[in-house]
Amino acid sequence: MIGLKSIAKTALALSASGALLSGCGDAASEGDLGGALPRQQTLYLSGQQNDAPGSFNPLAESWMASWPVGGRFNLMYEPLITYNSLNGKIEPLLGTLVEELSNNDSIVVDLNPAAKWSDGKPVTSTDVTFMFLRGSINSTEQISAIHIDTLKKNEDGTVAERLSFMVAKDKRNNPLTVRDMLQATRIAPSHVFEPLIKEKGLDETKKLPMDQNPVISGPYNLRSADPNKIILERRDDYWGNAALHDGQLPAPKFIVHPIYKNNEHNTIAMREGNLDASQSFIPRIARKASAGVHTWWNEPPYFRPGAMPMLVINTLKEPLNDKRFRRALATAIDYNALRQFAVSNYTSTLKAGLIMPTDLEGKYIVDEDLEKYGVNLGISDEAERLAAVKQILSEAGFKSVFNDDGTLDHMENAKGERLPTLYITSPNGWTDWEAMVTIAVEGMRKAGIDIREGFVDGGSYWPAMGLGNFDLVMHKPVADVTPSLPWSRFNEIMASRDWQPLGAWAGVNIGRYNQPGTEGFRPEVDQLLSAIPLMTDSVEIAKAYRELNKIFMEDQPSIPLVYLPEQFYEFSDRVWTNWPTAENPYAPAQLPWVASGTKILWNLKLAK
C-alpha cells in the first residue's frame, strides 16, 4: 500500500530540491535508479519512501524523517534489541536483553562493548540515556529511570555496561510497552547531538537534515538522496560484522530505495528484475511467479499475517451508539469477497474477535466463544446473510425505507425519526483499502443500512481520526508486530484510561468506546488491560485475554476486515537469492531494514 504524502514533508523536500518526483518510466533503468552502481553489488528495495526525501535526522519528528531513519529501521541508527516476529524472541543488537533479571520492576539490557559509532567512539550508556531521557522521544510515561552498572572494564579499554530500565509504576506500570520501546527506539550519538542542542536548542536541532557524513552505528550509511532515490553504502568497518556475524560483511555493497509515484511502477520494476524486494501491495502476486517474484508462501495467503485493518466505529453517534446496530454492520459484510477481491486472497479466513489466529496469538482464541459471542462472519449465502442483518436491525427497532424501484432511501430509528446517511472515512488512493470499503458498503446497503464511501485526502483523514470527526473510519491499529501483542491491539481499540471527548485529540480508542461515568460503562475492560502486562502465569494471561475478547465481541466497537501482513514481503530471485521463506525461515518475512529481518543482508547470495 502506497502511503499518503505528508503535506509539510513534501513541501520541505520540494523546496530543497526544486523538483517533483520522477515517474521512473515503465521499468526504471539501473542508471535512473543508482547512477553507475554495479548491479551485482546493489540491492534495490522499495515500498517505504513514497515521496521526496526530507530529513535524515534521528531526532526529527517521525513524519519528517526519511527512510531509513524515520521508523523501525536498523540500517543507519540501531535499537538496543530487535524482535523476531517468527518466534516471539528478542534478539541482541546494540545490547542483549537479560531475561533472567528482567521482571515487572525493570527490564535489563547489557550493552555490547563492541558497539561503536562510525567515527570510532564507543556506544555507551550516555547515548542511551540521551535518547530516552533528553532526546526526541517521550519515555517518562513508561520509564521512571535508567540505572547503570559497570560490569567490567576490558583490556582494550571498552567498558561493559548494564542498563536497568525502571518501569514507571506511578504512571503506565507496563513492562510490555517498555519492551516495545526498547526495540523501537533507535539510539543516536550524544557526542554529536548534545553540542548541537546546547548551541541551537532541541527544536532547532530536530530541523537539521543530518544528511552529510552522519555519525551512525549501523551497517550502511547515506551515500546520496534526491527526489528519485535514496542510496546507502555498506560500512565495511561496521562493528556488528565481527561481533554479530562471525566477521562476515553484508552481501550488497549498495542499497537503493527508488521512489515510485504509485504501485504500478513498483510492480513493473519487480517484474522486470529492476527491483529486488518490496513491501508495496501487488495484486495477484501468483501471476508474477514466472517473472521470479515470490512471497513467504507459494500459495494463499502468500504472506504471514501481522496486522488487522478494521472499521473503527464512532460509538458516540446515533445509531452507532447501539451495539446491536454495530453487530448488524459487522454481519452485513461479505468477508469472502473481501478476501478474494479486495486483497487478492492474501488473508486467511477471518475469525470473530480481536485476536489473530497466528503462532504467537492464536493460543488465546477460544473457538466456542466465537460462536457464542461473536457475529457470524461465515455466512456465504447472500440471502441468508441479509436476512440475519435485517433481523438484528428489526429487533433493535431500526427500519429501512426503500424507494418504489427497490433502492434504499433512508433509515429510521425506533421513534420513527430519519437517520442521517453514514460514511466510512478512508484515504483516497490506498487501493486495497478503497476496495475493502467499497465491498463493505455494498453489503451494508443491500441489507438496508444507509451508508456510503467517504474517500478523503491525507489532510482530512489523519485529523478526522484523532478528533473523532467520522462515523466509521478505516484504521490499522498496531501495524508493527511487537512484544506487547495482542495487548496493544486491545488497548488501542478499547482502553478508556485516556478517554477523550469528540473534538479533543485521542491517541487510542479513537472510537470513544466505553465512556467512563456513563450508563453501561464496563470497568472490567481497563482492569484487564492494567492487569495483563503484570501477569506472569500463562494460564491467567489466557483467561484475561479470553475475557477481553468476549467483551469486544459483545460490544463490537470496531469491525476487523482481514488479516494482512506487517509488510507485503515480496522478493525477486533474478539477481539475489536465499531470501527467507516458509521453507527457509532463518529470518522473518520482512524487508531487510527492519527488526530481526536485517539479518537477511548477511545471508543473500548472487544468483548463478
CATH number of the domain where residue 12 is located: 3.40.190.10
> What pairing do the DSSP bridges indicate for beta strands 310-313 and 558-560?
antiparallel
Distance CA 592, CA 597 (A): 5
> What pairing do the DSSP bridges indicate for beta strands 422-427 and 451-456?
parallel
Of the pLDDT bands very low, low, confident and very high (cuts 50, 70, 90), residue 135 is low
Q: Omega before 486 cis (within 30°)? A: yes
Does residue 205 fall inside a structural domain? Answer: no
CATH number of the domain residue 491 falls in: 3.10.105.10
Answer yes or no: do 144 and 24 share one domain.
no
- Residue 156 has what pLDDT? 72
Tens-place pLDDT, residues 46-63: 999 988 999 999 999 888
Does residue 483 fall inside a structural domain? Answer: yes
Please answer whether residues 69 and 278 qualify as being in contact, where contact means their C-beta atoms are separated by less than 8 angstroms.
Answer: no
Answer yes or no: do 98 and 57 share one domain.
no
Does residue 196 fall inside a structural domain? Answer: no
Closest CA to 172 of 104, 100, 97: 104
- 137 pLDDT exceeds 60? yes
Tens-place pLDDT, residues 505-533: 999 999 999 999 999 999 999 999 999 99
Closest CA to 171 of 146, 145, 148: 145
DSSP string covering 468-488: T--SEEEE-SS-S--TTTTHH
Mean pLDDT of the chain: 92
CATH number of the domain residue 165 falls in: 3.90.76.10
Angle at the Cα of 176 from the Cα atoms of 100 and 563, rounded to 5 degrees: 125
Does residue 543 fall inside a structural domain? Answer: yes
Answer yes or no: do 337 and 473 share one domain.
yes
- 262 pLDDT exceeds 90? no
Sheet hosting strand 220-226, strand order edge to edge: 220-226, 229-234, 254-258, 42-46, 277-278, 570-572, 293-294
Secondary structure of 367-388 in the HEC alphabet? HHHHHHHCCCCCCCCHHHHHHH
Does residue 197 fall inside a structural domain? Answer: no
Q: Provide the 3-class DSSP secondary structure of residue 593.
A: coil
More confident residue, 15 or 318: 318
Distance CA 363, CA 159 (A): 42
Q: Provide the 3-class DSSP secondary structure of residue 293.
A: strand
- Looking from the CA of 62 toward its CB, the CA atoms found within 13 Å total 8
Answer yes or no: do 317 and 440 share one domain.
yes
Mean pLDDT, range 201-223, rounded to an integer: 96
Q: Provide the 3-class DSSP secondary structure of residue 526.
A: helix
Please answer whether residues 515 and 496 qualify as being in contact, where contact means their C-beta atoms are separated by less than 8 angstroms.
Answer: yes
Cell 539477481 belongs to which residue? Answer: 575
Please answer whether residues 23 and 80 qualify as being in contact, where contact means their C-beta atoms are separated by less than 8 angstroms.
Answer: no
Please answer whether residues 235 and 219 qualify as being in contact, where contact means their C-beta atoms are separated by less than 8 angstroms.
Answer: yes
Closest CA to 221 of 71, 62, 56: 56
Does residue 192 fall inside a structural domain? Answer: no
Q: Provide the 3-class DSSP secondary structure of residue 12.
A: helix
- Looking from the CA of 19 toward its CB, the CA atoms found within 13 Å total 11
pTM (two decimals): 0.91
Answer yes or no: do 403 and 463 share one domain.
yes
> What pairing do the DSSP bridges indicate for beta strands 106-111 and 95-97?
antiparallel
Cell 503462532 belongs to which residue? Answer: 359
Answer yes or no: do 93 and 17 share one domain.
no
Of the pLDDT bands very low, low, confident and very high (cuts 50, 70, 90), residue 35 is low
- 13 pLDDT exceeds 70? no
Give me the amino acid identity at 523: P
Q: Tell me the three cell numbers of residue 493.
A: 481499540
Helix (H), strand (E) at residue 153: strand 143-153
Of the pLDDT bands very low, low, confident and very high (cuts 50, 70, 90), residue 180 is very high
Domain enclosing residue 529, as ranges: 305-565
Does residue 513 fall inside a structural domain? Answer: yes
Please name the residues in contact with 194: beta carbons below 8 A apart, sequence gap of 6 or more.
130
Tens-place pLDDT, residues 70-92: 888 999 999 999 999 999 999 99
Please name the residues in contact with 353: beta carbons below 8 A apart, sequence gap of 6 or more.
365, 369, 370, 374, 549, 552, 553, 560
- 554 pLDDT exceeds 70? yes
Answer yes or no: do 368 and 458 share one domain.
yes
Mean pLDDT, range 6-17, rounded to an integer: 33
Answer yes or no: do 394 and 513 share one domain.
yes
Ranges of beta strands (E only) in 304-388 are 305-307, 310-313
Of the pLDDT bands very low, low, confident and very high (cuts 50, 70, 90), residue 498 is very high
Please name the residues in contact with 22: beta carbons below 8 A apart, sequence gap of 6 or more.
32, 227, 228, 259, 261
CA distance to 115, 152, 158, per residue, from 149 (Å):
17, 9, 14
Q: Tell me the three cell numbers of residue 32.
A: 535512473
Give 594's DSSP letter. B
Tens-place pLDDT, residues 295-330: 999 999 999 999 999 999 999 999 999 999 999 999
Answer yes or no: do 34 and 98 share one domain.
no
* Helix, strand counts (H, E) of the chain: 17, 25
Percent of the chain topping pLDDT 90? 84
Does residue 328 fall inside a structural domain? Answer: yes
Mean pLDDT, range 247-273, rounded to an integer: 93
Give 139's DSSP letter. -
Please answer whether residues 250 and 602 qualify as being in contact, where contact means their C-beta atoms are separated by less than 8 angstroms.
Answer: yes
Distance CA 153, CA 170 (A): 35
Report the sign of the C-alpha dihedral through residues 213, 218, 223, 227, in that order.
negative
Answer yes or no: do 501 and 411 share one domain.
yes
Please answer whether residues 258 and 33 qualify as being in contact, where contact means their C-beta atoms are separated by less than 8 angstroms.
Answer: yes
C-alpha radius of gyration, the chain, whole number: 25
Tens-place pLDDT, residues 417-462: 999 999 999 999 888 899 999 999 999 999 999 999 999 998 899 9
Q: Provide the 3-class DSSP secondary structure of residue 102.
A: coil
Question: Would you mind telling me the total number of residues written for the chain in this entry?
Answer: 608
Answer yes or no: do 333 and 217 share one domain.
no
Answer yes or no: do 255 and 117 share one domain.
no
Domains in the chain, number: 3
Helix (H), strand (E) at residue 167: strand 159-167
More confident residue, 437 or 17: 437
- Residue 22 has what pLDDT? 36
